[in-house]
Amino acid sequence: MRLQTLFVLLCSTLGCGDSDKDDLPDDSGGDADADDTATGDSGSTGGVARADCAVPLEGVDWGDNPVVDYDPTIETRLDAVDYAAIDEELDISSLAAFYRGGIAFALEIAPEDLGDTLNRDEALAEGHLGRVILASLAEQVPGGMDYTLFRQGLQRYYMCSRGYPMTLEGFQLVYGEIPEDYTDVDSLAKCGTRRLRLSPETGVYVSETLWEEEVRETEILLTHNRSDGQLDFVVYGADGVLTDRSQFPTIGGENHLVMSAPYTCMTCHMNPSATEHTWGYDVLIPATGPCAR
């Protein structure tokens, strides 16, 4: 219970959800073309430049504020792990439910399908995120998983492992045009105006954060981009370039916390009730945030 309360407090501090959620339509399906949404290390597919895990995203410069969960040494730390020395079968049955949820999400496994053990070689076959999970489990820390390392690795390798287009323009070429129609809401997460452009028929939910009447960032939820039924998260900066971070206000309303993506997105859209032993990330419309009164 204390762990769940901690996550709720984290979500409330950083900000999650939008008000006027009744303006959002129900998700009604529509998968993107499988060939267009192939994941993994990539450079260009079908003429669309995609994130390449060999090249770290530059991110967005929001002044001197540090980026939570950003570690410039993460590649060196992961390369230093002796993966062959890790047990072939890892017992994950006793891990906290939100640890197990993170593992399932990173490996694209439905929460109900995550077993009591994790096969080392199968995890390695999943690429960078598999290595992140194994490195996190190899650390001898209380609770059985170095979740800080996991979050740092997730920030570094999630966007490229999912093969997202490098630009918002490229995103639209792959997933379809973002609707012109929009609804402005008073965001509980951003403590300001968020412009929602929704396409439930394709499973694309776009949220533009406005700052001084300009779009500061574009955050996107994909509801049908994964085989495990969970959400995918994409963030583009004001310049329309893919990024691994997002800016959030504090409880006092000041816009100065730079948080990692997708982890901060996950804390808002988490589902502690997905299964008894494994959390999920499939809540489309969270309803909490620092500006909730």
Q: Estimate the crossing angle of helix 2-14 against helix 97-106, to 10 degrees.
A: 60
Cβ pair 225, 219 in contact under 8 A: no
Contact 243, 287 (CB under 8 A): no
Three-class DSSP category at 122: helix
pLDDT tens per residue, range 94-146: 999 999 999 999 999 999 999 999 999 999 999 999 999 999 999 888 899 99
pLDDT of residue 120: 98
For the beta carbon of residue 28, count every other beta carbon within 10 angstroms.
Answer: 10
- Residue 288 has a pLDDT of 63
**Please, which residues have CB within 8 angstroms of residue 136's CB and are 6 or more apart in sequence?**
145, 146, 147, 149, 150, 153
Place of tokens 């990173």: 106
Contact between 107 and 77 (Cβ < 8 Å):
no
On average, the pLDDT of the chain sits at 83
Mean pLDDT of 41-62: 79
What is the mean pLDDT of the segment spanning 206-230? 92
Residue pLDDT, tens place only, 175-209: 999 999 999 988 777 777 889 999 999 999 999 98
- List of long-range contacts for 35-41, beta carbons under 8 Å, 24+ apart: 36/174, 36/175, 37/163, 37/174, 37/175, 37/225, 38/163, 39/161, 39/162, 39/163, 40/127, 40/161, 40/163, 41/127, 41/128, 41/160, 41/161, 41/163
